[in-house]
Amino acid sequence: MPLIPQYDCIPEHLSATGPCPLPDRISVVLVDDHALVRCGFKRILEDSADICIVGEASDGVAAVKMAQALRPRVMIMDCALPGMSGLTATRRIAEVSINTSVLMLSMHAEDTWVRKALNVGARGYILKNAVDLDLVAAVKKVADGEIVLDSQLSRTPALKGERNHGLTQRELQILQYIVAGKSNKEIAGQLDISVNTVAVHRANMMQALGIHNAAGLVAYAIRNGLINIL
């Protein structure tokens, strides 16, 4: 598949070559194997003056190539793609376009799917069938570095579990900021504590829970209902 984006309903203000004509807008690539789904999402996003659709792909291989060629700020990725899955494509995109944030779309509400998506580098996970889906807000939050999770996930029984496994109130506070994608320095500023103190709390949480990275902490928080799902 060529790197030039293929559009099913090309907006008049976009060029078929891909680059967004206004650099201050959020550049987005849509990845779904159904053309009508891509077209529907495109029309939703084009209502926002802050978002620019720069390309489309219908499979994982094309999505990775497009990420490398266009370097979009956000890729909206279907989880179930023919050939290379959305999960595998997301992992590859994290390697070839480190500044691209992937927002995963899925029909699966099970926490195992959410954890898989976050573990491969997705910055958001929303359900395709969500009646209150606000795609524009989700794209903007992901572009700003936040982690976005569908509100329906908090009502999924599989995400319920033990409440805190002995984490202190301060650790739970810090966990909230980790889920929001904040750095140690940003968390320290928000809580008026030192960066070293944040690092110690983070390390203590990982050791206590047997987790080795931030993605694991995020997945743990989701699985145990310890965060306010966005």
pLDDT per residue, tens digit, the chain (230 aa), is 434 344 344 333 333 345 666 668 899 999 998 888 888 888 888 888 899 999 999 999 999 999 999 999 999 999 889 889 999 999 999 889 989 999 998 888 877 788 888 888 888 898 877 655 688 989 998 998 888 888 777 544 333 333 445 677 788 888 888 887 888 899 989 888 888 888 888 888 888 888 888 877 887 777 666 655 43
Looking at this protein, which amino acid is placed at residue 217?
L
> What phi and psi, each to the nearest 5 degrees, are found at residue 176?
-60, -45
Handedness of CA 58, 59, 63, 66 (dihedral sign): negative
Q: Tell whether pTM > 0.95.
A: no
128 vs 54, 77, 78, CA distance in Å? 21, 11, 9
Give 110-154 as a DSSP string.
-HHHHHHHHHTT-SEEEETT-TT--HHHHHHHHHTT--EE-GGGG
Judge contact between 121 and 135, C-beta under 8 A. Answer: no
Q: Which CATH number fits domain 161-223: 1.10.10.10, 3.40.109.10, 3.30.70.20, 2.40.50.140?
A: 1.10.10.10
> What phi and psi, each to the nearest 5 degrees, are found at residue 27?
-80, 130
Judge contact between 153 and 222, C-beta under 8 A. Answer: yes
Residue extent(s) of CATH 3.40.50.2300 domains in the chain = 26-154
Query: How many CB atoms lie under 10 A from the CB of residue 11?
Result: 11
What is the structure's pLDDT at 176? 82
Residue extent(s) of CATH 1.10.10.10 domains in the chain = 161-223
Q: Is CATH 3.40.50.2300 the right assignment for the domain spanning 26-154? A: yes
- The pairing of strands 101-106 and 148-149 is unpaired
Picking from 180, 80, 41, 201, the residue whose alpha carbon sits closest to that of residue 123 is 180
What is the structure's pLDDT at 19? 60
Residue 155: DSSP 8-state: G
Looking at this protein, which amino acid is placed at residue 191?
L
